[in-house]
A and B are shown apart, each in its own frame.
Chain A
């Protein structure tokens, strides 16, 4: 039989099914939308480009006690007056979606060029002994892109190299596409990016650079006296606000050194829901075999046909997030160290489906995922040094002339990153819905696998465009 004949034969399938297929839209499944799957955020503090501390005397008393603010204009929330149900069932969701998918497409096309950076940053940040490690590659990318804007010469070149951008124009269009493709603020999905500049009233700044950062990077600027309680308070308040307080344990320790000439703070706040839910009634208490011993955890369960990627070193499964990308879980094969996965060359391949790749399959997966909350703070200075960003760290070599020419001894004195990821099934309403849309009499799949995350694993959260929003290694829970 020829394929053309099969195509013709298929023309006669049940007319009602043909009609219903075209009318079907998955979002018309009510009842679960108040459920939160993931809340996560990260703040990158590319901090304190400072002069020599001895020269950083505090004067200018008049500036103290006040922080001059210029806020960037962020896109307005979509359908802020609607609740999740009303939003999904009206035209608003489709209108938003149609506009959003065009933006996602533009950002999708440039992901290949950023993969090298994603791989490098995860390889450097994630390995550890006992603590959980979490980071947001896209957040670090955007913060360092801003650093590229305020630097020049070889200092800028090294930032571009680290980010995998051939030149500053490419970097600008990358950031703009990433921003557009990942900024979402609807009643059911939030992915909020924000940037800010913390400036010292003592200095004259290059207006052109500041306006570029404000317009293209949506950076709000704050001018005041670093080291003053007012400015520290403003800094903490801004960061807490843009991370919804999730990082408060770290934010409350944020302080500006009096010698600060510029601090760049970049944030991402992300909240999305699983496309298919875990039923809370299925959650059981089970043992997690962490690196520091066994603990009892809440294990969520679901059985579904899922895309699975298998290599010699890991098995990974991806779960879709509504309107957004996916969360991928990587379980190392027995005997493989979870730290090795951070540098696994196939990590990103497991998030980019290809028909030709035989490592993909879609068995019936009996999935067990522990509820967890994980956060970590990372000092990025040594990490960026090993990624080749050295000039910025050296007062003699660093070139920050696009920022200000008031001083020629500026250098990058601190770079910190904090991130937190949380997954659970809190606040479920409409728990009567089943995760499985299998009807009676569904055929048995030929292969079934267990995918049980009861020992250290790695995860990645991608945006719809494929960008890596968060990644981490969970070694211990509870």
Chain B
């Protein structure tokens, strides 16, 4: 079923919307949840919650890219759950590595006196990514949006894990510099 039809089902409050979403994007969303949570049953729960959230979000939402709309819900839910689980224990997991890599871009401090809006930050990140060469942009998104493993990314790009790691590290440094230059005291 095409995405427009599925969105219409949501809008019409037709419960088939959920089974169709699950059939088409279940694997896609599960992979995202699994990358973050590293646990099958936690991941499944987040994916099930995703359909419910989507049900509540549409209407009023009319997503332009349904896969990413659903994926983002899964990403948020999984990340919330990750933080709940990891409040006490931490470190070691492969998703911790993703976060630690991102730590290179930020100061790590709680800045209550933030002088910029979150929206501006997001716009700047988007601008930054749009200026990157296409492959680097995709590599960055696969790692920090999907939390894909470096080796999976390497396979997709027909390249070595070395190369991916070097490229990602390079982009992170660049992002940090870019944000600082633009006045985001990250």
Answer yes or no: are A and B bound together in one complex.
Answer: yes
| B176, closest chain A residue (CB) | A6
* Cβ-defined contact, B65 with A15, below 8 A: yes
Pick the most buried of A7, A26, A353, A439: most chain B CB atoms within 10 A of its CB: A7
The CA-CA distance from A12 to B63 in the complex, in Å, is 13
Are B106 and A21 in contact, with the CB atoms below 8 A?
no
Instruction: Classify chain A's interface size.
Output: 35 or more
Which residue of chain A lies nearest to B110 when distances are taken between CB atoms in the complex? A2
User: Does A61 interact with chain B (Cβ within 8 Å)?
Assistant: no
Residues of A contacting B182 with CB < 8 Å?
none
Residues of A within 8 A of B67 (CB): 19, 22
Given contacts A2-B106, A439-B133, contact A7 B156 (CB under 8 A): no
Q: Which residues of B contact A99 (CB under 8 A)?
A: none
Q: Main SS of chain B's interface residues?
A: helix
Asked if B9 lies at the interface with its beta carbon under 8 angstroms from chain A, I say no
Q: Do B141 and A1 touch across chains, with their CB atoms under 8 A apart?
A: no
With A1-B186, A7-B99, A353-B160 known as contacts, the answer to whether A305 contacts B167 (CB < 8 A) is yes
B111 CB → nearest A CB, Å: 6
- List residues of chain A with CB within 8 A of the CB of B72: 11-12, 15, 18
B170 touches A1 (CB 8 A): no
Q: Are A9 and B118 in contact (CB under 8 A)?
A: yes
A362 near B122: Cβ-Cβ < 8 Å: no
Q: Check if B121 sits within 8 Å of A11, measured CB to CB.
A: no
Q: Within the assembled complex, what's the spacing in Å between the Cα atoms of A323 and B158?
A: 6
Check if A1 sits within 8 Å of B111, measured CB to CB: yes
Contacts known (A320-B158, A438-B133); A22 close to B110, Cβ less than 8 A = no
A407 within 8 A of B: no
Check A353 against B166 for contact (C-beta < 8 Å): yes
Q: Judging by beta carbons under 8 Å apart, are A13 and B155 in contact?
A: no
Contacts of A275 in B (CB 8 A): 158-159
The reply to whether B109 and A318 contact each other, CB–CB distance below 8 Å, is no
Q: Does residue A25 face the partner (Cβ distance < 8 Å to B)? A: yes
The answer to whether A442 and B99 touch across the interface, beta carbons within 8 angstroms, is no
| Identity of the chain A residue whose Cβ is nearest the Cβ of B118 in the assembled complex | A9
Please determine whether A437 and B169 come into contact, CB atoms closer than 8 angstroms: no
**List of A residues within 8 angstroms of B186 by Cβ:** 1, 6
Inter-subunit contact B103/A13 (CB<8 Å) = no
Asked if residues B129 and A7 are in contact (CB atoms below 8 Å), the reply is: no
Residues of B within 8 A of A13 (CB): 122, 125-126, 129, 141, 145
| A443 in the interface (beta carbon within 8 A) | yes
Max chain A Cβ within 10 angstroms of own Cβ: one of B75, B130, B139, B159: B159
Q: Quick check: is A47 within 8 A (CB to CB) of the other chain?
A: no
Q: Which residues of A contact B108 (CB under 8 A)?
A: 1-3
18 A-B pairs with C-beta separation under 8 A: A1-B111, A1-B114, A2-B110, A3-B99, A3-B100, A9-B121, A9-B125, A13-B125, A21-B145, A24-B135, A275-B159, A307-B163, A352-B162, A362-B169, A439-B134, A441-B131, A443-B174, A443-B178
Q: Which residues of B contact A (CB under 8 A)?
A: 28, 63-65, 67-69, 71-72, 75-76, 79, 83, 98-100, 102-103, 105-111, 114, 118, 121-122, 125-126, 129-135, 137-139, 141-142, 144-146, 155-163, 165-167, 169-170, 174, 178, 184, 186
The list of the 6 closest CB pairs from A to B, nearest first, reads: A353-B162, A21-B138, A21-B141, A3-B103, A15-B68, A362-B166
